[in-house]
């Protein structure tokens, strides 16, 4: 039988490429008409994942049972006031008077369930009514919220590294507690000297406090370190710690030893320590950038036991040719050499101890991020108690970004490969999103642009956050594999 038809009879496939008659781009010029008739538009569409995470983790109930205040505000309740300030800091408004710029934003007011944010004086009265212990309660709130985030994000770190440091906040007003103390950039001006500790693996803020400008005492340092160690999630088994010369004292070493924490602390220059360095047996250092290295056991005056000291020695002429090196490395000099000296309980070689401490440079960047992006250095009041409470609110806003990154991460189990996106970059990628809020048939929704480049990542993040649910005494993990 002969078939009388064409050999290639399949249908012509649909063209996949863009046709030549694609719509032209929008023409915007000086004569383009404009109006103010748009309704329910917001530039902060990225707040939806933030409030989703907080709602799923029970932030409202946690805050109400943690914070205590006798004052009953009328404009909004305590939860809404705290949330408004924290979200304002997260958006990038460190000053209370800047909240007027978003007072009618439909997404923010929808989250807070109000028609308009109160005026600045109302926020001031709310902060002024909080007592001094609220700062400690906010720190407890951050700790409990972190435990829930780790459960839901399936973070099971058993070995962590904590970096402790102080920073200087120059004061330009008459704030209480300001002191003329160590202030290298603005010598002679009054300042605060807050103390902070970060978790190196996830870049989270663990604990800290706003302090006056005086140098912290040994008891204050020990109290801070014990608070840090108590704030770690219960699954942590091995702790490594790094600190600069500001924490060189027996109280800090004793706090580390009590918690069985492995530590590396920079030693300060004393006459007895210099004498030990001169009498030490030096040998060439092939695995570091120093000329020679040594180690010895030494008991400084006032210490209860001797500890291992390791040192690197640099020729003075070499260091004079590298002026930036003196700021990067903790050096102190004598007539012939410059030294880097550490007190540690590590048993590893000297070069490994120095390498481990060098990784602490990331903590400086985290402090800079908190100061510049989270509004940590913007002390709003002349009263120290208000500034102390505002300090913890700013660090809560900083941690919101870190916690969202834990849910945003790729499926990976190695915490060493976890990348950090600064708060400033996260705002540009995931927060400043033009969105429209719509209502229909009793439902409310948010529409985003179909040209948004990160819509795949945004949708994945939101789907993960919406799957967070309580399970037993904790929260079910929404991600696999576990981050270790």
**CA–CA gap between residue 165 and residue 243 (Å, rounded):** 6
Q: 427-442, pLDDT tens digit by residue?
A: 999 999 999 999 998 8
Say what the pLDDT of residue 25 is: 82
**CA–CA gap between residue 52 and residue 217 (Å, rounded):** 42
Q: 307-340, pLDDT tens digit by residue?
A: 999 999 998 765 444 444 434 456 676 667 889 9
Say what the pLDDT of residue 163 is: 97
**CA–CA gap between residue 402 and residue 397 (Å, rounded):** 9
Say what the pLDDT of residue 69 is: 82
**Which residue(s) pair with 450 in the sheet?**
none
- Phi–psi pair at 131, nearest 5 degrees: -80, 175
CATH architecture of 245-359: 2-Layer Sandwich (3.30)
Q: 57-115, pLDDT tens digit by residue?
A: 999 999 999 998 877 788 899 999 999 999 999 999 999 999 999 999 999 999 999 99
Say what the pLDDT of residue 317 is: 63
Say what the pLDDT of residue 315 is: 85
Rounded-to-10 torsion of CA 40, 46, 50, 55: 40
Of 20-24, 297-301, 317-321, 416-420, which range is least confident? 317-321
**CA–CA gap between residue 134 and residue 190 (Å, rounded):** 25
Say what the pLDDT of residue 416 is: 86
Higher pLDDT, residue 74 or 475:
475
Domain boundary assignment for the chain: 41-132+389-475, 245-359
Rounded-to-10 torsion of CA 229, 234, 237, 238: -30
pLDDT average, residue stretch 366-372: 95
Q: Where are the beta strands (DSSP E) in 272-330?
A: 283-284, 292-298, 307-315
Angle between helices 59-66 and 78-91 (to 10 degrees): 120
For residue 460, CA distances in Å to 85, 136, 359, 400 come to 27, 35, 32, 18
Torsion sign, CA atoms 193, 195, 200, 202: negative
**CA–CA gap between residue 358 and residue 342 (Å, rounded):** 12
pLDDT average, residue stretch 124-131: 91
**CA–CA gap between residue 445 and residue 350 (Å, rounded):** 59
Prediction pTM value: 0.90
CA angle 185, 92, 51 (to 5 degrees): 140
């Amino acid at each position: 039988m002969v078939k009388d038809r064409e050999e290639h009879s399949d249908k012509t496939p649909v063209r996949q490429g863009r046709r030549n008659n694609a719509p032209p781009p929008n023409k915007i010029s000086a004569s383009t008409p404009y109006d103010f008739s748009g309704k329910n538009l917001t530039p902060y569409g990225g707040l939806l994942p933030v409030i989703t995470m907080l709602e799923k983790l029970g932030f409202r109930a946690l805050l109400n049972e943690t914070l205590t205040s006798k004052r009953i505000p009328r404009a909004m309740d305590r939860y809404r006031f705290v949330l408004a300030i924290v979200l304002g800091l997260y958006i990038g408004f460190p000053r209370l008077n800047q909240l007027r710029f978003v007072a009618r934003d439909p997404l923010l007011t929808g989250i807070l369930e109000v028609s308009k944010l109160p005026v600045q004086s109302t926020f001031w009265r709310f902060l002024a009514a909080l007592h001094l212990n609220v700062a400690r309660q906010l720190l407890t709130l951050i700790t409990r919220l972190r435990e829930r985030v780790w459960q839901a994000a399936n973070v099971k770190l058993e070995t962590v590294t904590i970096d402790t440091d102080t920073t200087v906040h120059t004061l330009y007003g008459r704030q209480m507690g300001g002191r003329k103390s160590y202030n290298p950039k603005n010598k002679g001006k009054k300042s605060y000297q807050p103390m902070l500790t970060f978790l190196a693996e996830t870049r989270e803020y663990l604990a800290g406090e706003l302090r006056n400008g005086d140098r912290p005492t040994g008891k204050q340092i020990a109290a801070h370190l014990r608070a840090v160690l108590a704030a770690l999630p219960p699954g942590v088994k091995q702790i490594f710690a790094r600190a600069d010369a500001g924490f060189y004292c027996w109280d800090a070493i004793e706090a580390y030893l009590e918690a069985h924490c492995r530590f590396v602390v920079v030693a300060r220059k004393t006459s007895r320590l210099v004498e030990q360095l001169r009498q030490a047996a030096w040998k060439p250092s092939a695995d570091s950038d120093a000329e020679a290295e040594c180690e010895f056991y030494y008991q400084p005056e006032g210490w209860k036991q001797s500890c291992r000291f390791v040192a690197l020695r640099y020729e003075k002429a070499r260091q004079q040719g590298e002026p930036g090196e003196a700021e990067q490395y903790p050096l102190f000099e004598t007539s012939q050499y410059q030294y880097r000296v550490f007190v540690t309980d590590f048993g590893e070689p000297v070069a490994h101890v120095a390498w481990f401490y060098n990784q602490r440079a990331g903590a400086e960047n985290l402090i800079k991020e908190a100061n510049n992006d989270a509004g940590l250095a913007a002390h709003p009041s002349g009263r120290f108690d208000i500034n102390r409470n505002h300090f913890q609110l700013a660090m809560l806003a900083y941690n919101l970004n870190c916690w969202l990154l834990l849910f945003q991460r790729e499926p990976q189990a190695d915490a060493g490969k976890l990348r950090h996106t600064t708060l400033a970059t996260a705002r540009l990628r995931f927060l400043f999103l033009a969105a429209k809020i719509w209502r229909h048939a009793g439902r409310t929704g948010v529409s985003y642009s179909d040209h948004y480049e990160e819509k795949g990542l945004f949708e994945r993040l939101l789907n993960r956050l919406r799957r967070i649910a309580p399970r037993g005494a904790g929260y079910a993990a929404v991600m696999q594999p576990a981050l270790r």
